Structure 1
Amino acid sequence: MNTVSFFGRELPVIYEVDCIVVGGGTAGATAAISALSEQAKTLVIEKTISLGGTQTNALVSPMMPTYVKGQRVNRLIIERLNKEIETNDGTTTCSWFNTETLSFVLEVLITERGGHILYDANYVDCIKEDNRITHIVINTCAGLIAAKAKTFVDATADAIVSRTAGVPVTSGNEDGQNQQISFRFEMGGIDISALRAFILSQHETFCQIENPNFFEIAMVPGKGHVLEPLFRKGLAEGYLKEEDLRYFQAFTQPGKPGVMSFNCPHIPDIYQTTDPRLRSKAVIKGREMIRRLTKFLPQYLPGFENSYLLKEATQLGIRESYRIIGQYVMTEHDYINRARFQDGIARGDWYIDVHSVTKEHVEKPKFSRGEYYEIPYRALVTEQISNLIVAGRHISSTFLMQASLRIQPTVRDIGEAAGLACAYAIKHDIALNKLNGAILRSQLGMGEL
């Protein structure tokens, strides 16, 4: 077996492939499927034992609505999901899923194309020669090992590969504050039909979905939601604290009758997601808040009488941390101007959705149906590393622009472009950061400007 030197140690090189994707999340899994579809030998490095990242480990479902037509791999994932569960509510353009089914589907789509997955494997560092990464170092149950590739996809969401390779990054808003952290959970034993009947009897207009298999509830103080009086009562009677009322939202889970996934609690007073100590503090605080909510709901909300805590997320819901500084930095002006690019490789139409810890006012202009902006290939690559491409919420953008492009459908399309780029770069012996993104635009069927 080949070895590589790493700080005086000889590490076994257990894989030599065309493309290594670090992070098997929303963008990473899609990038791997894309590269494999172009016959690039691909390895996915995943720190957990479940593909899907935020979607599965942080329990973030469903995929938010978009009127942008998804690219081929995104459609493939949804089509395969539809064979397992119902994903279309018939009213919105959300893509509904449960986490276990999505993780399984992503795994099958990778392995049936000959892809390799290394689970329970944490990225440690990279080894470079000049401006190229040659190997990455991984911590596994066997200790430190190495893997070699021609191209690398940083799909870590925290830009860890980019940062260790020397790529400059930025983080947070102008005050260095990141977006709100969530700690999601699931509850079972819910009588969805009783819950739905109660909510609709109160003339709630928030959820307009007619399909009884899909339902959503929410409560944000001062927004006129019918649940606010119940939460106020729970606060007055000591079940809740004021911080529990900041944001409340839950969605049914297709294929899991009586189960809802909660897009809360929002963790208060954590202003930075880039500090490992604060992330740990967020877990402890979030678990405390989850316990209060799961005791409150059976006592106050019809349909929840026999409900129970089913599971907590195994990963925090991090909306924003680091962002690379690439060859092009996307800004909110690109959003406002519905920007088009010769090297546009993905499209987005979600609004500038800032979940702010400090409740700062952010203008949130929304697009009309059919409007969109484009994401240029140059926002995925850097000047510093020639064979590295970034896919995920951490591409090159400003704080506000990232709040739009971070949603799952957009990130999946970015991942597809990244995987396609790796295969093209290998096939044509060209550096990723020298590749003309207009070629990818054409291959993705996005047309000419």
Structure 2
Amino acid sequence: MEKMVEYRGRAVPLLGEWDTVIVGGGPAGASAGISSARGGCSTLIVDKNIRLGGTAVNALVTPMMKSFTGHHTNFFDIERKLEELGYATRDELGTEMLWFTPEALAQALEELYTQAGGEVLYDAALSDCVVENGAICCLIVTTVQGLGAVAGKHFVDASGDAVLLRAAGAPTAHGDERGNNQMSSLRFEMGGIDVERYRAYVMSLHDTYSIFPRGYFYESAMVGGRGFVLEPLFRRGVEDGVLREEDLRYFQTFSLPGKPGCLSFNCPHLAALTNNTGALARSRAVVQGHAMIQRLVRFLQRYMPGFEGAYLLQEASMLGIRESYRLAGQYVLTENDYTSQARFADGVARGDWYIDVHSATEGLFHHNTYQDGDYYEIPYRSMVCDAVKNAVAAGRCISATFLMQASVRIIPTCLDVGQAAGEACVYAQKNKMPLNEIDGAALRERLNYRFRKP
């Protein structure tokens, strides 16, 4: 007989019970799942999409930014899996970034996670949770069956938007001091491009941004009003009515391994979406982004050498959100921790990306004081709060200020924080204790840093 859970006066079918339940299967959530499952915990990832990888896969956000500090084992396992699947990651492209296609990362994460014994509940959106005595008992999810319940002992919020923690009553913050979030994007890919013809054209303009004059990889960009050599051509598009001024705010494109004749576009930027915490506002931004992509595609086909036979390959199936809700945890990481290269007794991950703010209202803001090998630590206390006993945050929604979050949010850091979250669930299970009472220093001892191959 099917088990039922009472929720707001109605009986909801119980889909199952697990030791660890993770909301969100992005890099942080997948990494948490891999570690939890490998540690012997029955583990479920609940994801609203049908591919693991979150923003990196479904919002087409590639690559992994370069990072010279040590990383935990999952980072290297994922890189090795990508190489096994036949995708160049670093050396062949001549950059320090870890490159991948969205499809390859989704496959790598799913294989590593399921081979460790983890289960996935795809196409399931978190609707609510049941909390008793400060602990989450179960999630309420919406699936093709309707409402269902997912019971667990330990929970990881890797949703990016702190959806579970907010539902459970945890304190959160979002945006800068005026409530404005970082710029959101809607990425896309095009195929059928003569990349060599495009490269030759840009290089003929004596471009100083595109530093790859030969080889498989190519990257170019244009930011309106910043003196980029491609701007006059884009201005012509505006004068002819093919583009609008808003389309010139940010343009960037680059090659992807395993996709010859294809370029990925880190644009358009959706400047009108200053506060992305509203459902209708996000939806309006998606509509705006679709229209901007269509204008950019038409412009490139008509004006840009090398794009004469090009076509739209795919649009992202979700917005590229850089920052929204953040946990207000036991410790709030600040930009002072960045500048001081802070160390903590409960430091469970490292960060070394610069403070990289794509402001919706003030343009780009970059603060970089690090040399190769410099880093700050992320304390376990920035992943938990006093209000919810058995939940831990992972990924971009951990406890940090607006500026500090701009450094924390990159994929390599999210992978490491996710692994720490998964290890925390294993530790809590073995020691029969709440996640928010774990001694982060003891957890730190379980996490051994490794350094990438030279």
Could you report, residue by residue, the CA deviation over 1:191-221 in whole angstroms, capped at 9, with x for unpaired residues?
A: 1222222223333232334772222111112
Contact 1:345 1:446 in 2 (8 A): no
Contact 2:346/2:439 (<8 A) preserved: yes
Please say if 1:227 is aligned against 2:217: no
Match of 2:374 in 1: 371
Displacement of 1:382 in angstroms is: 0.7
- 1:94 matches 2:97: yes
Change (3 A) 1:101 1:361: closer
The code of the aligned residue for 1:359 comes to: E
Alignment partner of 1:69 is 2:70: yes
Per-residue deviation, residues 82-136 of structure 1 (Å, max 9, x unmatched)? 1121111453221111111111111111111111101100111111120111111
1:307 aligns with 2:310: yes
5+ residue gaps, structure 2, are none
Contact 2:183–2:273, Cα closer than 8 Å, also in 1: yes
Secondary structure of 1:214's partner?
A: coil
Indicate the SS of the match to 2:358.
Answer: coil
- Deviation of residue 183 (structure 1)? 0.6
Aligned 1:237-316 pairs, distance under 5 A? 237-316=240-319
Q: What is the TM-score normalised by the length of structure 2?
A: 0.96
* Helix, strand or coil at the partner of 2:61: coil
Counterpart CA distance in 2 for 1:93 and 1:412 is: 17
Once the two structures are superposed, what CA deviation does each residue of 1:146-168 show, in whole Å capped at 9, x if it has no partner?
A: 11111000011110100010001
Kindly indicate whether the alpha-carbon contact (under 8 Å) linking 2:38 and 2:117 is maintained by their aligned counterparts in 1: no
| 1:83 alignment counterpart | 84
- Give 2:123's aligned residue: 120
Question: Is the counterpart of residue 24 in structure 1 residue 20 in structure 2?
Answer: no
Q: What is the CA distance between 1:138 and its match in structure 2?
A: 0.8
Find the counterpart in structure 1 of residue 8 from structure 2. 7
Q: Distance in 1 between matches of 2:117 and 2:93?
A: 35
Partner AA of 2:24 in structure 1? G
Matches of 2:16 and 2:81 in 1, distance apart? 29
Match of 2:191 in 1: 188
C-alpha displacement at 1:345, in angstroms?
A: 0.9
What percent identity do the matched residue pairs reach?
50
Whether contact under 8 Å (1:344, 1:376) holds in the other structure is yes
1:30-69 matched pairs, under 5 angstroms: 30-69=31-70
Q: Residues 36 and 355 of structure 1: is their aligned pair in 2 closer, same or farther, counting only changes over 3 Å?
A: same
Aligned residue for 1:16, secondary structure, equals strand
Aligned AA (1:86)? A
User: What is the TM-score normalised by the length of structure 1?
Assistant: 0.97
The whole-number CA distance in structure 1 between the counterparts of 2:263 and 2:365 is 30
Residues 414 and 173 (structure 1 numbering): CA distance in 2 closer, same or farther, change over 3 Å? same
Residue 54 of structure 1: SS of its match in structure 2? helix
Between the aligned partners of 1:360 and 1:242, the Cα distance in structure 2 is: 15
* CA distance in structure 1 between the partners assigned to 2:31 and 2:142 by the alignment: 23
Residue 87 of structure 1 aligns to which amino acid in structure 2?
A: T
Q: Deviations over 1:398-435 (max 9, x none)?
A: 10001111111111111010001101110111211111
- Aligned ranges for residues 150-189 of structure 1 at < 5 Å? 150-189=153-192
User: How far does residue 15 in structure 1 lie from its aligned partner after superposition?
Assistant: 1.4
In 2, the alpha carbon distance for the partners of 1:262 and 1:362 equals 21
2:360 equivalent in structure 1: 357
Match of 2:443 in 1: 440
Deviation at 1:284, TM superposition (A): 0.7
1:308-327, Cα deviation, whole Å (9 max, x unpaired) = 11111100011111011000
Cα distance in structure 1, aligned partners of 2:110 and 2:278: 31
Gap change, CA 1:114 and 1:210, over 3 Å in 2: farther
- How far did residue 361 of structure 1 move? 7.3
Verify the 8 A CA contact 1:193 1:212 in the aligned structure 2. no
Checking the alignment, whether the CA contact within 8 Å between 1:62 and 1:251 is kept in structure 2 is no
* Count of residue pairs brought into register by the alignment: 447
Task: Tell me how far apart the structure 1 counterparts of residues 355 and 121 of structure 2 sit (CA, whole Å).
Answer: 35
- Alpha-carbon distance in 2 for matches of 1:189, 1:402: 37
Bigger CA drift: 283-292 or 231-240?
231-240
Asked if 1:347 corresponds to 2:342, the answer is: no
Distance across 2 between alignment mates of 1:439 and 1:196: 52
Deviates more, 1:359-368 or 1:314-323: 359-368
Q: Secondary structure at the match of 1:28?
A: helix
Q: Say which SS state the counterpart of residue 289 (structure 1) adopts.
A: helix
3-state DSSP class of the match of 1:290? helix
Which range is displaced more, 204-213 or 57-66?
204-213
Q: Secondary structure at the match of 1:354?
A: strand
Q: How much is the aligned-residue C-alpha RMSD, in angstroms?
A: 1.5
* 1:385 and 2:388 are equivalent in the alignment: yes
| C-alpha distance 397-218 of structure 1, shift in aligned 2 (>3 A) | same
Cα–Cα, structure 1 residues 295 and 214, in superposed 2: closer, same or farther, change >3 Å? same
Q: Secondary structure at the match of 1:186?
A: strand
Q: In the alignment, is the contact (CA less than 8 A) between 2:20 and 2:152 conserved in 1?
A: yes
Distance of aligned partners of 1:361 and 1:218 in 2 relative to their CA distance in 1, 3 Å threshold: closer
Question: CA offsets, 1:45-96, max 9 Å, x none?
Answer: 0101111010010000111222123210011011101112111145322111
Counterpart of 2:447, as a letter, is: L
Q: How far apart, in 1, do the equivalents of 2:214 and 2:137 lie?
A: 51
CA–CA separation in structure 2 for the residues paired with 1:112 and 1:214: 32
Deviation at 1:268, TM superposition (A): 2.1
Contact 1:92/1:209 (8 A) holds in 2? no
Q: Look up the match of 1:404.
A: 407
8 Å Cα contact 2:127-2:141 kept in structure 1: yes
